[in-house]
Chains A and B, each alone.
Chain A
């Protein structure tokens, strides 16, 4: 009689464990399905946005010629910048070039040591025909103290 009761309890416990395991497995399956669905929708959505961006030339507009570096040499009507490597780039200043520092548009303010970002296409000789030059503060821009300056 006692043995029967023990067996019954054991079988109940086994059945409970089995139920828990089943519930866990079902929950895991649901988690996988939900995450897979989220990833799939996110990927499809972003792929569509990327395709539209390529088709409408939006991404190309942003990927056009842009260069950043330090001015290492000034010549009349042009200057030379150097980036992280040893590669140097000649930048031409034309009448159409707009030079900005902060909110102001300025002229003849470029100096050796300035860090600048330049926009413009390359000519056949590999020089940048600058359309926009923005001058950043001459201090070392890797200094964390500069990081907290107000943006405007």
Chain B
């Protein structure tokens, strides 16, 4: 019986391990030169889209695509399109993280599952509060969305209720960052680097 249970979950475990190892690989070995050399695009918006997608897809480590976004914005690209392509890419990438979390929900320990269920039930009971929190997190926080999307995937909180507000928040953040970069590149360089 126990053996059957393990066999049943092997594909999910393999999927999670694949994502973790891919993220570790990017974390340990990726550099902007290698990535940009590898991504064979002829359009700068496609470049930031692919970078943001990979950044969203890799779990926990990610790719700091914001730095390339700043470079492209200061180089003369349209901040609105830059923000749009970045937010679209990162949300598509984060969808895979949500999926990994969702698949992992059956194999997490009971205690953690209990905590996540409290959050989920709370979110379903008050349907406006968590989406508002996700929007604010996406629009104000420069950090990765992985913590949010994976934990919501683990708790099996509805996909669209996480992704739509978080995506809109990311759109606000990336457009604002691109605009800010065009206005205050030197100041930003001093803060970020």
Residues of A within 8 A of B (CB): 27, 30-31, 34-35, 38-39, 41-42, 45-46, 49-50, 53, 58-64, 66-70, 83-85, 98, 100-104, 115, 117, 119, 131-132, 134-137, 141-142, 144, 146-147, 149-152
Contact = CB atoms under 8 A, between A and B. Distances in A.
A63 B193 contact: yes
Given A42-B137, A42-B147, A100-B37, 14 more contacts: A31-B126, A39-B137, A60-B193, A66-B67, A69-B76, A84-B74, A85-B74, A102-B42, A115-B44, A119-B32, A136-B43, A147-B43, A152-B40, A152-B41
B71 interface: yes
Q: 9 shortest A-B CB distances, which residue pairs?
A: A68-B75, A103-B40, A46-B143, A142-B78, A151-B46, A62-B64, A84-B76, A83-B75, A119-B33
12 contacts: A27-B126, A62-B32, A64-B31, A67-B75, A68-B44, A70-B76, A83-B74, A102-B42, A132-B33, A149-B46, A151-B50, A152-B40
B99 interface: no
- Interface size bracket, B side: 35 or more
Contacts of A67: 71, 75
